Structure 1
Amino acid sequence: MGKLRPGKVEWLALGHTGRPTLRPLQNLLLLWTLLNCGLGGSAQGPGEWTPWGSWSRCSSSCGRGLSVRSRRCFWFPGGEPCWGDSHEYRLCPLPDCPLGAIPFRDLQCALYNGHPVLGTQKTYQWVPFYGAPNQCDLNCLAEGHAFYHSFGRVLDGTPCSPGTQGLCVAGRCLSAGCDGLLGSDAREDHCGRCGGTNESCLLVQRVFRDSGAFAGYWNVTLIPEGARHIRVAHRSRNHLALIGGDGRYVLNGNWAVSPPGTYEAAGTRVVYTRAAGPEETLSAAGPTSQDLLLQVLLQEPNPGIAFEFWLPRERYGPFQAQAQAVGWFLRQQQPREVEPQAPELPAAPAPSAPRTPTPAPDPCGRCPDTRGRAHRLLYYCRGDFVFRARVLSRLHQGQETRYEVQVQLIYKNRSPLRALEYVWALGRCPCPRLDLHREYLLAVQRLISPDGTQDRLLLPHMGYARAWSPAEDSRVRLAARHCPV
């Protein structure tokens, strides 16, 4: 930054002869000095700065430029000069330069095109040369020749070199701190505060060691809005997965492995790396503009997933509550399965006379009728989730039936629901029974196993499952008003 120059110093002489003429501001400064130091006393300590002047116009109209402001020092002979700098430089907020705009350094070299240099009458066309020792000198290469010439310093505000953030000021390459001042060492802390000391945020740092009982997607942690300096790493054949605030996968979703690279998510860039060995990492500077959900696609036992991020203090409490509400484990779709169907047989010759086929008897029989206002109120008020869904598939697993459903409208939920969910029912012939490809209004409960390895949506026996209709929609909305608070 600009240092004190002799031409910027004003001496205040107290003698009766040779006294300079003082402007009103200098008179005020002299009076203030005399009153504070005592009439007739000698000056002690450093000189005094005038207030900062206004910022100058920007050195550029686009891209990166700087503006400058200055101040003057007043001090007494024999005393110490002012401490600090006489000039400050700051970056200008400017729009990007249009495509094809000539860079600032190129313009400065071009000023010498066609002019004799080097003591001869020869002229050259000049372009910037970046191989010289001082990058803030105007080093220009003669086109078509193997030499360059230095024309002195570049103008203040010239980029030091392509692709860098530094700007040349008084022959020096300076970078801006987070306060926008060139040459400043001010830096953002982990909380995003310029010059802070990390006192306004907390570090969340944990290792997720739980291992699911089956292959599939499992929740690792919620990364809440406002998180910064996100880091995730593990070493295994498992894959990290990330879900955005809109419920869609950012990477490694739907059983497909994404390529390494940079992904946009929640207002920040997520860098995903996968080395040749069994190591994966995620990193993002943040801050995130919405919640992210970190998952792991388990293919083998989980050896541990280390994650950390910085979170504003005021958001740490809500984060803990959200993490408990979401739960560490996710009811996530497995490879989509459907009920096995018998293989098709070759078509038999057409009979001479049509016969009416006899329908096969339903092995499950009919479920008892459970309609009624009291039944609807009971399960709506007791249920953890009430939603409208379309049945996509049905699968018998042991003594249970698993329905894969597409959630279309949520009336009540104690924790977030995804677009695709599994709903479990007891028995191979559960009641109520859900038909494929039909839409239902369901009231289900959340069931977490004692060891925490399973988190399910359970449709109770003889519970609430009604085929959707506009009339049923009105009834379920009315039921919400009669539940006890």
Structure 2
Amino acid sequence: MAIHPGPADHRLLGLLCSLRPRLFRNLLLLLWTLLSCDLRGTAQGPGEWTPWGSWSRCSSSCGRGVSVRSRRCVRLPGEEPCWGDSHEYRVCQLPDCPPGAKPFRDLQCALYNGHPVLGSQKTYQWVPFHGAPNLCDLNCLAEGHAFYHSFGRVLDGTPCTPGAQGLCIAGRCLSAGCDGLLGSGAVEDRCGLCGGANDSCLFVQRVFRDAGAFAGYWNVTLIPEGARHIRVAQSSHNHLALVARDGRYVINGDGVLSPPGTYEVAGTRVVYTRGVGPEETLQASGPTSQELLLQVLLREPNPGVHFEFWLPRERYGPFQSQAQALGWPLRQPQPREVEPQPAETPVVPEAIPARVASLTPDPCGPCPDSRGRAHRLLHFCGSDFVFQARVLGRHRQAQETRYEVRILLIYKNRSPLRTREYVWAPGHCPCPSLAPHREYLLAARRLVSPDGTQDRLLLPHAGYARLWSPAEESRVLLAARRCPV
């Protein structure tokens, strides 16, 4: 049986047909809005780097050269360029070149021998010229003539000057950091770790004040194996002496004074200085491959022998046992920021750890919430300095807190900043509070005392201090563009 729609059914069908295009258009509009919002959200920050490629072959066939690796920046339309470098260069060391081998710069100048230059058909023989201002230009002297010509940049990996450590990269003279990367600026910390924060070793600093009841040699300290940055000093008519592990005197033994100079012992070089005055010093960079015995040859009352060195943490316990055997009281390590004792008070032996975080509970209460874009803009635009820093240590006093920080990246500065700085915060319990061994984005102000004797970086109360993250860094860069001129 067929069913025929009536007039009411025709009206309902017509209504649905009229609504369908409008509903479809609304769905399309909603989808486009969602996609547009997502694109606008991702376009605020920078693009992303692809993983680093592999290192290239060394630029030289012998001696020192460079290897390079690269990466690409992938970004959507409207995104900022990626932050950082697209190329990295590192030093590669091959076996030494054979005697008589032609230096790399000489080979590059020789490529133009017999070819017309300077707009004429005259040809010359070319050798390197090192008196030009830019060390990384291929400046070549015409043999037998009093002029030189610059043929552009030298090839990457060319030494800046003969015998120097710097290498030319893209027209700039760069030195390698301790990580082997050219231009990285990475340096070893006092513990010998590349880019470290001095927290894997202890700083030992003492004064030996025993006067002695008779003239002759007195034991001062054992310098343990693995010690670094050793420095010993005394100012009197007495004399320092150094004994190797086999009992052989290296400096000032058997009552005979050694001449000032450099002495090889225990895998390091010891520099001994003695001037016209009474002051003597011993210095060595280390690390020592075996222990050394430091003595003093007494000829008059001892005003004090000052010595210091950095020691791996695992070697501190054995060193304390040896110190106790020499008659010194056993002391636990003290924080680095101890108050100095008066000069007339004998200094007992003490080892000072570098920036060790406190293990006691923090008595300070929570800080007020200071998040939000308005807070970030207020402190970024009103500050003198905005930078990324790693907190190395914290010293609390009654009226203020001092943070020692290592500056990693500067976003804003109205005067120069050093690599290591102190940041001061008001109160024993500052807000925001910074934790040692963490990285932060900080906004600080410059505070100069009226008499000009103090010039400080001040972290204001309830100021800007956020744990560093790529997202937070992106927000800081956006804030920089919105500050009023």
Pairwise TM-score range, normalised by the shorter structure = 0.5 to 0.7
Deviation at 1:203, TM superposition (A): 0.8
Moved over 6 A (4+): 39-42
Q: Deviations over 1:174-223 (max 9, x none)?
A: 11111111111221111111111111111111122222222221111111
| Distance in 2 separating the partners of 1:55 and 1:107 | 25
Question: Given residue 177 of structure 1, which amino acid in structure 2 is its aligned partner?
Answer: G
Aligned CA distance change for structure 1 residues 211 and 172 (closer, same or farther; 3 Å): same
Aligned CA distance change for structure 1 residues 304 and 43 (closer, same or farther; 3 Å): same
Identity of aligned residues (%): 84
Q: Unmatched 5+ residue regions in structure 1? A: 1-33, 329-485
Partner of 1:138, secondary structure, is strand
Question: Given residue 133 of structure 2, which amino acid in structure 1 is its aligned partner?
Answer: P
Aligned CA distance change for structure 1 residues 127 and 216 (closer, same or farther; 3 Å): farther
Say whether residues 1:137 and 2:148 are aligned partners. Answer: no
Q: Deviations over 1:392-426 (max 9, x none)?
A: xxxxxxxxxxxxxxxxxxxxxxxxxxxxxxxxxxx
| Distance in 2 separating the partners of 1:98 and 1:216 | 54
Aligned to 1:57: 57
Aligned to 2:223: 223
Aligned to 2:304: 304
Aligned to 1:193: 193
| Distance in 2 separating the partners of 1:148 and 1:313 | 57
Aligned CA distance change for structure 1 residues 118 and 47 (closer, same or farther; 3 Å): same
Aligned to 2:250: 250
| Distance in 2 separating the partners of 1:272 and 1:214 | 25
Aligned to 2:46: 46
The CA RMSD measured in Å over matched residues stands at 2.4
Contact 2:234 2:279 in 1 (8 A): yes
Question: Given residue 214 of structure 2, which amino acid in structure 1 is its aligned partner?
Answer: F
Q: Deviations over 1:261-296 (max 9, x none)?
A: 211111111111222222221111111111011111
Aligned CA distance change for structure 1 residues 61 and 297 (closer, same or farther; 3 Å): farther
Question: Given residue 65 of structure 1, which amino acid in structure 2 is its aligned partner?
Answer: G
Contact 2:43 2:80 in 1 (8 A): no
Aligned to 1:213: 213
| Distance in 1 separating the partners of 2:141 and 2:305 | 54
Deviation at 1:38, TM superposition (A): 5.5
| Distance in 1 separating the partners of 2:58 and 2:43 | 39
Bigger Rg, structure 1 or 2: 1
Aligned to 1:321: 321
Aligned CA distance change for structure 1 residues 285 and 40 (closer, same or farther; 3 Å): closer
| Distance in 2 separating the partners of 1:301 and 1:145 | 70
Q: Deviations over 1:26-64 (max 9, x none)?
A: xxxxxxxx99x9699864421121111100001113322
Deviation at 1:314, TM superposition (A): 1.6
Contact 1:219 1:327 in 2 (8 A): no
Matches within 5 A, 1:3-18: none
| Distance in 2 separating the partners of 1:285 and 1:242 | 16
Aligned to 2:165: 165
Partner of 2:141, secondary structure, is strand
| Distance in 2 separating the partners of 1:170 and 1:257 | 53
Q: Deviations over 1:318-339 (max 9, x none)?
A: 10111222458xxxxxxxxxxx
Q: Unmatched 5+ residue regions in structure 2? A: 1-33, 329-485
| Distance in 2 separating the partners of 1:218 and 1:101 | 55
Partner of 2:262, secondary structure, is strand
Structure-1-length-normalised TM-score: 0.57
Partner of 2:107, secondary structure, is helix
| Distance in 2 separating the partners of 1:172 and 1:71 | 21
| Distance in 2 separating the partners of 1:291 and 1:105 | 46
Matches within 5 A, 1:474-485: none
Q: Deviations over 1:146-193 (max 9, x none)?
A: 222111101101111133321110001111111111111221111111
| Distance in 2 separating the partners of 1:98 and 1:327 | 57
Aligned to 2:262: 262
Aligned to 1:154: 154
